Amino acid sequence: MLLFAYGTLKQGGKYHCYLEEAELVEEQATAKGILYDTGMGYPAMILSDSGQIEGEVYEIPDVLWPALDFLEDYSGDPETDMYDKVTVEVEAGNKSMETIVYIAKSEKLLKEPIETGKWDITQSVI
User: The domain spanning residue 25 has which CATH number?
Assistant: 3.10.490.10
35 located within any domain: yes
Amino acid, single-letter form, for residue 3:
L
Beta strand 34-37 with 112-113 is: antiparallel
95 located within any domain: yes
The Cα 93–Cα 64 span in angstroms is 26
126 located within any domain: no
Backbone angles phi, psi at 106, to 5 degrees: -95, 125
pTM over 0.75: yes
64 located within any domain: yes
In degrees, rounded to 5, the angle at the alpha carbon of residue 119 between the alpha carbons of residues 123 and 57 is 130
- Work out how many domains the chain is built from and give that number: 1
Query: What pLDDT sits at residue 126?
Result: 46
The Cα 96–Cα 106 span in angstroms is 28
**Catalytic machinery residues:** 72
Which H/E stretch holds residue 25?
strand 23-32
pLDDT digit of tens for each residue in the chain (126 aa)? 999 999 999 999 999 999 999 999 999 999 999 999 999 999 999 999 999 999 999 999 999 999 999 999 999 998 899 999 999 999 998 999 999 999 999 889 999 999 999 998 776 544
122 located within any domain: no
Query: 87 in helix, strand or coil?
Result: strand
120 located within any domain: no
123 located within any domain: no
Which string of b and e fits 62-101 if b means at least 16 CB within 10 Å? eebeeebbeebebeeeeeebebbbeebebebeeeeeebbb
DSSP annotation of 124? G
121 located within any domain: no
